[in-house]
Structure 1
Amino acid sequence: MSDIKKMYSTILGDNFPMDMTISFGEQKLVYRKKTWAIPGADGNLEERGVRYGENPDQEAALYELASGNLQLGDCQFIEAGNGLVSSIKVEDMLQVGKHPGKINLTDIDNGLNIIKYLMKKPAAVILKHNNPCGAAWDTSLAIAFNRALRCDRIAAFGGAVIMNRPCDLETAALLAENYLEVVCAPDFEEGTLEILARRKNLRIIKIAGIDRLADYEKFRFIDFKSLIDGGIIVQQSPVNSIRSGDDLLPATTTRKGEDFACERQPTEQEVEDMIFGWAVEHGVTSNSVLYVKDGCTVGIGTGEQDRVGVAEIAVHKAYIKYADQLSFDRFGIPFSSLELEIAAGKQDAAVRDEILAKAKTDRAGLPGCVMISDAFFPFRDGADIGIEQGITAILQAGGSMRDDETIKACNEAEPQVAMMYTGQRSFKH
């Protein structure tokens, strides 16, 4: 059997070429492989590219668009010279104990994919295995990061944090209290690197282009999906068209000659949370359902086959994470560690029961949330899951044959629930 611990600490290397050219008819895109000279365990510089792929036995490479200007139909794609993750230089790696792996880079990239829509306020997104486990925007970066962390401290362990403002001292102190793989920001203020350096294996990466990330909202890129037979599916990247309340559509439909309309309209705060939630939704694997409140995720359900199931999973996760945070607030330990202490006779079981009772009483913070669905609800049962937990508004694509049933669910709720449509779906696979 191979030594898997050694595999994780070894740079695999790769046999991919230094240059790659992709032709679209007469148009050519030229890519150059990224490598970085980083000190190895012996102190000598090692010029290598991506550490390894999704697993330690998979070679991988990162390529930066070096030249070419692709235009297909009316769509002009992102041009060379606008690199973000693919343009990271060795001097941008302010602290790096080892070469980055493929997952580190894709987590950063998906964090940027989300946060490019959240540039108007200080925002932080925490990702794990290319899905957000917590996201928030607020009046300061420290508050935004702390709220994102409290959404899911469990999944944030070993995660990547992407921020849209320079890291300040207060935020750095909060970051340093947690085990993270990557911290990425447009800059790091004086004194922050010394604080973050307490975490020796933390990769600290500066991407100055985050400052102009809002410019990337309308950029498209080519998305490749390779098939097991060597074939390739090519598509345009999606664009989020829901950027303000004016982009939302009223929840109305006609079925069998009868008109239906959602009776309650969303409040200003609910609209704000719809815009925030739809931005986060663009980085979540489908099928997905999110619960958000006051500019912060409360529960994130990802990658399920059915919509009612993912709505239930998002609720279930919210309760688990809420109990975990209550345990941490009270005892400074995760809920799972508290249960071990109870089993060992170091804590009274009544403490656990109190925490679970409070999570149930508070309904895990779900009352007042906006429910976000990346596509339409084919049946009302998905919406009913959220309504039962006390959500006050829903944002979904609309377009189901049974939209009338979901509208009825909102109108029949006590108190009534607001609902708006996006007119677009946000699938990500």
Structure 2
Amino acid sequence: MSDLKKMYTTLLHDSFPEDLRITLGNQELVYKKRTWNIGGEVRGLRYGENPDQPAALYEQVGGELILEGVAFRGPGQGLVSALTEEHMLQAGKHPGKTNLTDVDNALNILQYLSAKPCAVILKHNNPCGAAWTDDGIAEAVSRAFWADRIAAFGGAIVVNRPLTKEAAELINSFYFEVVAAPEFEPGVVDILKARKNLRILKIPGIARLDELARSPFLDIKALFDGGLVLQTSFQSRIRSEADFLPATAEKDGTIYTARKPSRKEMDDLIFAWSVEAGVTSNSVIFVRDGVTTGIGTGEQDRVGCAELTITKARTKYADLLAFKEQNMSIFELMLAARSDSAKAAALADIRRRAEEARGGLPGSVLVSDGFFPFRDGVDLCIAQGVTAIAQPGGSLRDFEVIRAVNEATPQVAMVFTGQRSFKH
């Protein structure tokens, strides 16, 4: 057992070169391997996605890429790749690839959410809880955590405003692997350092994410055979209410048009679509009052993704009741209920209330990263109390989907995004 545990704390040696150069036609991009002096040792990444995979992190330090007049992000715009010892306020366990890519995907989401204090919690490179609010960063942290406290365990939490003492105390009361912020208020780092293995990252560039969001980056995907796919990074076209398109479709000479969302629904849809940029497809996201109420990720069919997300929402809701009322997780309560009649009664009551509350989904809006090929997924979500939906549009059955929201009582709103948001 001790040897197995050691596997996760061992730093792997990597033989990757100090410099990396990529030539695209007559343009050359120059990268330098990122290393840190931690505890007297100069090392790069602890390891890659798994403990037996050597890995290296590179920062772009030279060259520029311009394609068809579009300038891509370049040197001097690094965030995670530009981290130095100065930014690692506490290294904790030496960082590995998954820690930093979780933070990176949080920044990918936060680039569209600069308008309000926002917190995103990442686990396995997917958001498990996200919230934005006018009530300050501590409230955003709290709401993001309670959106899914189960998945938040051992995750990375990233905020877009200076971290306050109130927020730090909440973070310290639970288990996180990484916390990142543009700045930390006086005394906050001392609070966080009570968790010796916590990685505390100061990333000043978070304060200018809205500037970076204006230009794409070069997105490189490696194939199993060693080949590469290069693409322009995804850029959300939904930055304001005016960017949504009316949900309309024509079938056999009949025009179908959906209700326009209210201002509050629009605000939640903008937030949900921004979070969607960091979610593995096929996915759907439920949001209410600026907080994720359900996040479905990486499923093969859209209605199946909606079904699993709804099931998860009920479990998370029941867990929240169990934690606050019984001081144990829903799974601990299930175990205790096997031999304790009082716990069994409490479990039955909690499950009943979670079902009646439909997992806290009523009043939520919904976004889908791809269009609905059939109305079944829409009907399923409407049954959970969804009030507004945003989706790309473009399906042959858009008219059926619009008809579904129009037939709902009360009528459900729908808009099109005009773009798909797949993330593979």
TM-score range, shorter chain: over 0.9
Cα distance in structure 1, aligned partners of 2:236 and 2:277: 8
CA contact (8 A) 1:176 1:196 kept: yes
- Cα displacement (A) at 1:348: 2.6
Structure 1: 5+ residue stretches without partners? 40-44
1:216 aligns with 2:212: yes
- Cα displacement (A) at 1:310: 0.5
Secondary structure, counterpart of 1:424 in structure 2: coil
- Cα displacement (A) at 1:354: 1.1
Match of 2:58 among 57, 63, 69: 63
CA contact (8 A) 2:123 2:155 kept: yes
1:257 aligned residue = 253
1:89 aligns with 2:94: no
CA contact (8 A) 2:336 2:344 kept: no
1:11 aligned residue = 11
2:236 aligned residue = 240
- Cα displacement (A) at 1:98: 2.6
Cα distance in structure 1, aligned partners of 2:195 and 2:355: 36
Letter in 2 for 1:85: V
Match of 1:323 among 318, 321, 324: 318
Cα distance in structure 1, aligned partners of 2:171 and 2:238: 31
Structure 2: 5+ residue stretches without partners? none
1:26 aligned residue = 26
CA contact (8 A) 1:38 1:98 kept: no
Letter in 2 for 1:150: W
Cα distance in structure 2, aligned partners of 1:3 and 1:225: 34
1:379 aligns with 2:370: no
Match of 1:226 among 222, 225, 233: 222
1:150 aligns with 2:141: no
- Cα displacement (A) at 1:344: 4.1
CA contact (8 A) 2:106 2:121 kept: yes
Superposed CA RMSD: 1.2
Equivalent residues in 2 for 1:20-419, closer than 5 Å: 20-39=20-39, 45-138=40-133, 139-262=135-258, 264-345=259-340, 347-419=342-414
Cα distance in structure 2, aligned partners of 1:218 and 1:332: 46
- Cα displacement (A) at 1:200: 1.4
- Cα displacement (A) at 1:2: 10
Letter in 1 for 2:136: S
- Cα displacement (A) at 1:347: 4.5
- Cα displacement (A) at 1:97: 2.3
Cα distance in structure 2, aligned partners of 1:130 and 1:343: 35
CA contact (8 A) 2:109 2:275 kept: yes
CA contact (8 A) 1:286 1:427 kept: yes
Cα distance in structure 1, aligned partners of 2:301 and 2:214: 30
TM-score, normalised by the number of residues in structure 2: 0.98
Cα distance in structure 2, aligned partners of 1:351 and 1:143: 30
CA contact (8 A) 1:341 1:347 kept: no
CA contact (8 A) 2:93 2:198 kept: no
Q: Classify 1:206/1:420 alpha carbon distance in 2 versus 1 (closer, same or farther; 3 Å).
A: same
